[in-house]
């Protein structure tokens, strides 16, 4: 990953970790999702599948994928849009109930993004507040497509 300067870890999940990084070629800040070293071949295929499916989606409320590759220690990664914000789960716990106006705006954005996913004959299958990021309190971004269902592929859970 010579192209990227990793800065700090943003989070970690079952499949790997996400880091803030700078794309040295383009000079933009990105998020890099790197698969864990302990992943088996099936998990690696699922990770790569998530990256490929995400790269086909284009919508202002769906996380954008910019690049992908393999690290020097043979781990798959992809670079994506860095959403500076807070997920809905944390927002609710911190701020309490959302105003009707904000809640309806965020819900409309999520529904529009998921309609785009469905138009591609995909199902997200893990829509939850923790996977919905809110940027600057206004823009909602649907994230984490690791459990997406593609009708042309075998069923993954």
- Over residues 141-148, mean pLDDT: 73
CB distance 142 to 78 below 8 Å: no
Residue 143 has pLDDT above 90, yes or no: no
70 vs 82: which has the higher pLDDT: 82
Using CB atoms within 10 A of its CB, is residue 121 exposed (0-12), middle (13-18) or buried (19+)? exposed
What band does 50 get if pLDDT is binned at 50, 70 and 90? confident
Alpha carbon distance 18, 76 (integer Å): 12
Instruction: Tell me how crowded residue 55 is: count the other CB atoms within 10 A of its CB.
Output: 15
Question: What is the C-alpha separation between 58 and 146, in angstroms, rounded?
Answer: 17
* Residue 94, pLDDT above cutoff 90: yes
Mean pLDDT for 11-32 is: 92
Predicted local confidence at residue 36, as pLDDT: 84
DSSP state of 39: -
Asked if 135 is an active-site residue, the reply is yes
Q: Which of 25, 84, 121, 135 is catalytic?
A: 135
Question: What is the Cα–Cα distance from 113 to 83, expressed in whole angstroms?
Answer: 15
Mean pLDDT of 19-35: 95
Q: Which CA distances in Å does 87 have to 43, 139, 148?
A: 25, 11, 19
Q: What is the mean pLDDT of residues 53-81?
A: 89
CB proximity list for 128: less than 8 A, separation 6 or greater: 89
Q: Are 16 and 47 in contact (CB under 8 A)?
A: yes
Instruction: Tell me the range of 74-78, 120-124, 135-139 where mean pLDDT is highest.
Output: 135-139
Token pair in block for residue 124 = 């997200």
Residue with tokens 């944390």: 90
Average confidence score pLDDT of the chain:
87
């Amino acid at each position: 990953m010579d192209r990227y300067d990793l800065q700090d870890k943003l989070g970690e999940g079952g499949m790997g970790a996400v880091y803030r990084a700078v794309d040295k070629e383009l000079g933009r800040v990105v998020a890099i999702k790197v698969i864990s070293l302990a992943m088996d071949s099936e998990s690696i295929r699922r990770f790569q599948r998530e990256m490929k499916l995400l790269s086909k989606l284009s919508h202002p409320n769906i996380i954008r994928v910019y690049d992908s590759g393999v690290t020097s220690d043979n781990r798959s990664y992809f670079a994506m849009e860095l959403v500076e914000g807070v997920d809905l789960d944390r927002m609710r716990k911190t701020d309490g109930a959302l105003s009707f106006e904000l809640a309806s705006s965020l819900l409309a954005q999520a529904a529009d993004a998921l309609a785009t996913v469905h138009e591609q004959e995909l199902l997200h299958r893990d829509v939850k507040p923790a996977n919905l990021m809110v940027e600057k309190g206004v823009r909602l971004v649907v994230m984490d497509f690791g459990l997406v269902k593609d009708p042309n592929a075998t069923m993954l859970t």
